[in-house]
Amino acid sequence: MSHKTHPSRSNMNKTWTKYLLWFAQEHVDFRFAEIKSLISLFNIQMKFLRKPKDEPFWIVEFPSETEVKLLASRSVSLRNCIELWAYAPNMQKLHEELKQYPKCLMHPYLQAEKSFKIEVETFCKHFSQKQKVDKLETFSYLPMEGPVDLRNPDVTFQYVEYYGIVPHNPPEEPYEVFFGRWVASGLRQMIKKLSLKTRKFIGNTSMDPQLSLLMANQAKVTDGSLVLDPFVGSGSLLVAAAQFGGYVWGTDIDYLMLHGRTRPTRIRQKIRELDESVRANMKQYNMEHRYMDVLVNDFATPFWREDFRFDALITDPPYGIREATERVGTKKEGYEVKAEHLPTHIPAKIEYGISNIYKDLLRFAARHLRIGGRLVCWFPVFREDYTESVLPQHPCLHLVSNSEQTLSKVTSRRLLTFEKAREPTKDELDEHEVDIMDFREKYFVIREETRKERRLKQAKVREEDRLKHLNKQSL
C-alpha cells in the first residue's frame, strides 16, 4: 500500500472513485498494519488522496466498489466506508462542492423506485435530534425522488462532521465535513459475537476478540490456511483464525490448561465444567470442522516433521508475569529415569527465558513457515528502553509491521508481523542467536521499586498528617 500506488494493467481504463474510510478510534496504532495486510491478501488497489494522520478517517481512491466491500468484509478496524461525493472545511463550502458533483453519478441512487435515508454523524460532539434534522434540511436541493425509509432503505447517505479527537474540549465549528453514499460496514459485529463474556472456556490471559481478529488479519489467514499457535492457552487465537477459514492447531506445555482443569477465571465460578476445552469453544462458534487438535508439547523440544509447513503462526508467548515461562528439563547432571518409572513419570520443568523463547520461535518460523507465510506475535518491552534494535530478528524473516499496545507508564507490548522471505541455511537454523533483555527480571525489579516509592510516599503523607494534628492540638 503506497501513497503512489499504480493500478494494474486491467485497471488502467477504470475510473478511480473517492471513498471515506471511517475507523473505530481504538487500537489506532494497529490500523495501518491491518489494512496493509488485507490489501496484500486480496491484491486490492488503493491510493491515498491525503496522507493519514491522527484522524479516525482516510480519504482514498479505489478502482471499483467491489474492492471496497472486500476490504470492509474483513477489517475489524473499519466502522464504515462511504463513496465520497463532497468534503470541505465547513458546511457552506460542502454544499458548493456537492452541487458541482456530476448528476450522472448521483442519478442511479436518486431514482423514484429507490428508497433512502440520510444519517447525520458527529465525531467528538453531541447534537440533539432537532439539531440533526435542521442539518438534514440543508440538503433539500438534492434531487431525491424516492420515498424515505428509515429502517431498511435501498440507499443510505451520510453527512459527517469531524470535531477532532479530544472529546472534552471540542471546537465550536467542525474541522471538516463530509457527504456521501454508504457502501459497506466493517466487521465490528464479530467482536461482540466472539466476546469473552459469553465464551465457554477462557483463562487468565485469553486474548480479547478484537486483538485476536487483528492478528489473524495481519497473518493473512484465508480459506484453507494451516495455522498454529505454539503457546495456545485457552485458544482465543485459534477461534479468530478459524473464523477467517483457517484450519487450526495448538500446542502448549500446560497439561491442566489444555484439559480444562486449571482454576476458573470467572469470579463467581468455583469449579470448571467438565466439557470446558478449546474444542468446546470451536463447537460454540460452529467451527469444529476447522479444529485440527491441541497437543501437550514443550516448544523447546523439536516435535514437527522438518518438512511440515504452516501458512501462519499466531501466538502470544508467555512473559513470565501472569503465566510461567517453562520448558522440560532438570538442573541435575546425568539424570535418568528408570524404565519402570517411565509410564507414570511427570517430567520436571525449568525456567524458559524470554531470549530462548524468541530464539526458538523465530527459528521455528524460519523452518516451518512456507515462503510468504507469516509469524504474528507479541513482544514485551520497557518503553524507556525501546528501539527497533531490541526486537527479535532472523535473516529469513522480514519485519513487515510493528504496532504498540501500551500496558502501563513503563511497559508496553509490540505486535510484530514477520514474513518468511526464503528458506534458511543449516547454519541459520543451528547457530542463530537472539539477544533479548530479560523482561521478567526487570519487571519485578521495577515493580518492587514502585512499591517502595509508594510506601515512602504513604509514610510521608502519614507523617505530614501527624504533624498537622499536633499543630492543631498545640493551638
CATH, residue 302: 3.40.50.150
- Convert the pLDDT of each residue in 160-184 to its tens digit: 999 999 888 899 999 999 999 999 9
Tell me, yes or no, whether 263 and 160 share the same domain.
no
pLDDT-based confidence at 9, cuts 50/70/90? very low
Tell me, yes or no, whether 183 and 198 share the same domain.
no
Q: Is 469 inside any structural domain? A: no
Tell me, yes or no, whether 260 and 378 share the same domain.
yes
- Convert the pLDDT of each residue in 399-423 to its tens digit: 999 999 999 888 899 999 999 999 9
pLDDT higher than threshold 90 for residue 325: no
Q: Residue 99: which domain range? A: 9-187
CATH of the domain at 134: 3.30.2130.30
Please compute, for residue 278, the number of CA atoms within 13 A of its CA located in the half-sphere on the CB side: 30
pLDDT at 429: 79
| 86 or 466, which is more confident | 86
pLDDT-based confidence at 7, cuts 50/70/90? very low
Q: Is 112 inside any structural domain? A: yes
- Convert the pLDDT of each residue in 103-119 to its tens digit: 999 999 999 999 999 99
pLDDT at 168: 86
- Convert the pLDDT of each residue in 365-385 to its tens digit: 999 999 999 999 999 998 888
pLDDT at 469: 75
Q: What's the grid cell of residue 179?
A: 457527504
pLDDT at 56: 95
Q: Is 470 inside any structural domain? A: no
Report CA-CA distances (Å) from 381 to 72, 308, 391, 470.
32, 32, 9, 47
Number of domains in the chain: 2
pTM of the predicted protein model? 0.87
pLDDT higher than threshold 80 for residue 249: yes
